[in-house]
Amino acid sequence: MDFFITTNNIAMRASDTGKGKVIILLHGYLETMEIWENTISELSKQFRTVAVDLPGHGLSKFNEGSTTMEFMADCIKSLLDKLKISECLIVGHSMGGYVALAFAKKYPETAKALCLFSSTPNGDTEQKKKDRDREIELIKAGKLELILKTNVKRGFADINVKKFDEEIFAIEDTATVADTDGIIAALQAMKMREDMNDFMKTIQHKTLFVFGKFDNYITFDVAENIMQKYPQATAAILQNSGHNGFIEEPEESVKILCDFAEKTMK
Q: In this predicted structure, what is the pLDDT of residue 63?
A: 82
Residue 99: strand, helix, or coil: helix
CA distances from 255 to 154, 164, 236, 246, 250 (A): 25, 21, 11, 10, 9
- Residue 130 CB coordination number (10 Å): 12
How does pLDDT run across 50-97, given as a tens digit for each residue?
999 999 999 999 887 778 999 999 999 999 999 999 999 999 999 999
For position 8, what pLDDT does the model report?
87
DSSP 211-253: EETT-SSS-HHHHHHHHHH-TTSEEEEETT-SS-HHHHSHHHH
Cα of first residue to Cα of last residue in the chain, in angstroms, is 26
d(CA 67, CA 75): 10
Domains of the chain: 2-264 (3.40.50.1820)
Question: How confident is the model at residue 128, as a pLDDT?
Answer: 96
Residue 3: pLDDT over 90: yes
Phi, psi torsion values for 207, nearest 5 degrees: -125, 140
What mean pLDDT is reported for the chain? 95
Query: What pLDDT, in 10s, does the model give residues 190-244?
Result: 999 999 999 999 998 899 999 999 999 999 999 999 999 999 999 999 999 999 9
149 DSSP 8-state letter? H
**Does residue 110 carry a pLDDT above 80?**
yes
The pLDDT value recorded for residue 24 is 98
pTM exceeds 0.75, yes or no: yes
pLDDT given for residue 265 in this prediction: 87
